[in-house]
């Protein structure tokens, strides 16, 4: 099945693979699980309201080539409100800051005295911070509604692909769900994982506040002779 036909969601078509990810996607879309996943996801877009917009499902892949990924930071699933999800974990197209992102920005201010200029985190991704959700689509107002459709398998395959092709990569876990996913990666090294609590309102004060993840990530990158992230972008 041609890629444009296979990836069609309503009137939106991705006409080509994200640049640099061709090898991965060419193999992945041939797999039975992915074809069943995409059949289900297309049906969801046709019959109900699903986020992010179809053109943005793989947005994070379009912003950074696999060989340029230095850090993986997993989210859970997309924001489930209108005009929020943009295909980048934690990031949003909305001017209203979701609570978890607001808490990340609080910690960024406390850690490095940086006020991030917007809710759009594409500037981080362009520098090699791969902000990927574990589940890439969601029904409106129904968090985790696309859990166990096959996205988790897809994301684990992405992580294995990155881990096998990148010489040095940092896996940053915000919460237990990200850590569970990282534990499944083939050959992952414990020294390449930084673990923190989740920035959600339920765990921010106890497990995330004061942990200084942004400066610690940059220290890790510098130790491995990699350019630190400009978190103000």
Q: DSSP string of 130-158? A: EEEESS--EETTBTTTTTTSSHHHHHHHH
Return the CATH number at 130.
3.40.470.10
pTM of the predicted structure, to 2 decimals? 0.93
Region 196-201: mean pLDDT is 93
Helices then strands, each counted (H, E), the chain: 9, 6
Instruction: Confirm whether 233 is domain-assigned.
Output: no
Instruction: Confirm whether 230 is domain-assigned.
Output: no
Which tens digit of pLDDT belongs to each residue from 21-37? 999 999 999 999 999 99
Range of the domain at 76: 3-223
Instruction: Confirm whether 109 is domain-assigned.
Output: yes
Total domains in the chain come to 1
In this prediction, residue 8 has a pLDDT band, given cuts at 50, 70 and 90, of: low
77 catalytic residue (yes or no): yes
Which one of the listed residues 32, 56, 68, 77 is annotated catalytic?
A: 77
Region 158-178: mean pLDDT is 95
In 3-state terms, the chain is what percent helix, strand and coil (to 5)?
A: 40, 10, 45
Whether the per-residue pLDDT at 110 is higher than 50: the answer is yes
Instruction: Confirm whether 231 is domain-assigned.
Output: no
Which tens digit of pLDDT belongs to each residue from 28-86? 999 999 999 999 999 999 899 999 998 899 999 999 999 999 999 999 999 999 999 99
Phi, psi of 172 (to 5 degrees): -105, 120
Instruction: Confirm whether 232 is domain-assigned.
Output: no
Instruction: Confirm whether 119 is domain-assigned.
Output: yes
In this prediction, residue 4 has a pLDDT band, given cuts at 50, 70 and 90, of: low
| Confidence (pLDDT) at 168 | 93
């Amino acid at each position: 099945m041609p890629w444009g036909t296979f990836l069609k969601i309503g009137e939106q078509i991705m006409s080509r693979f994200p640049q640099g990810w061709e090898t991965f996607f060419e193999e992945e879309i041939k797999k039975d699980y992915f074809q069943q996943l995409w059949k289900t996801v297309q049906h969801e877009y046709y019959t109900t309201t699903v986020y992010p917009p179809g053109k943005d499902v793989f947005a994070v892949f379009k912003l950074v080539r696999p060989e340029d990924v230095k850090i993986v930071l997993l989210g859970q699933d997309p924001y489930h409100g209108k005009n929020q999800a943009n295909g980048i974990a934690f990031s949003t197209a909305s001017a209203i800051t979701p609570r978890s992102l607001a808490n990340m920005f609080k910690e960024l201010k406390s850690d490095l005295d940086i006020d991030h200029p917007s809710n759009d985190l594409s500037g981080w991704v362009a520098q090699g911070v791969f902000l990927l959700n574990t589940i890439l689509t969601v029904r409106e107002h129904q968090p985790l509604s696309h859990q166990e459709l096959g996205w988790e398998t897809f994301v684990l395959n992405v992580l294995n692909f990155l881990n096998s092709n990148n010489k040095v990569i940092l896996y940053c876990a915000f919460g237990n769900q990200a850590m569970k996913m990282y534990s499944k990666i083939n050959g992952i090294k414990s020294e390449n994982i930084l673990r923190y609590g989740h920035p959600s309102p339920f765990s921010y004060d106890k497990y995330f506040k004061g942990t200084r993840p942004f400066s610690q990530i940059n220290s890790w990158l510098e130790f491995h002779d990699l350019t630190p992230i400009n978190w103000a972008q």
